[in-house]
Structure 1
Amino acid sequence: MEFDKVPEWAAWLAQDADGTWWAYEAEPNKQDRGWYENEVGRIQRLGQTAPPPDWEATLRRWPPRC
């Protein structure tokens, strides 16, 4: 997935088990098959790609740090 449309406020990205990518303003919480907002901050759907083999490993800070 190319992240050219990530909102400026995004601090976290994550992909659910179904392949949907999300941007989060605050670190999201994990649920059965994906991530959800923790009742603070904004959330935005970024798109969908193939489901990942390990969706739990997709949570990452944004922008990437070197």
Structure 2
Amino acid sequence: MIDTDRLPYWVNWLAQDRDGTWWGFEAEPHQYHCGWYENEVGRSLRIASAEPNPDWAASLRSRDS
């Protein structure tokens, strides 16, 4: 799992794309056919790579979850 203590203060949301890439978002991201994208309101940051995740659509969570 992602160590949220090491993330920038502005990362409020975490999500994993289908290819396994973890992202941090400032604002709640939008889902598209194979991942997540920032909603043109906040910043995003590529955090880590992992194995592809067939359940990626259920990965969105707030930083405090």
Is 1:25 matched with 2:29?
A: no
- Percent identity between the two aligned chains: 55
Gap regions ≥5 residues in structure 1: none
Distance in 2 (CA, whole Å) between partners of 1:14 and 1:55 is 8
Aligned pair count reads: 64
AA partner of residue 63 (structure 1): D
| TM-score w.r.t. length of structure 1 | 0.88
Runs of 4+ residues deviating >6 angstroms: none
Distance in 1 (CA, whole Å) between partners of 2:2 and 2:28 is 21
What is the CA distance between 1:5 and its match in structure 2?
3.0
Is the helix fraction higher in 1 or 2?
A: 2
Aligned equivalent of 2:62 = 61
What is the CA distance between 1:6 and its match in structure 2?
1.7
Aligned equivalent of 2:16 = 15
Deviation by residue 1:8-56 (Cα, 9 ceiling, x = unmatched): 1111000000000000000000001000000011100001001112000
Gap regions ≥5 residues in structure 2: none
CA RMSD in angstroms, aligned pairs only: 1.2
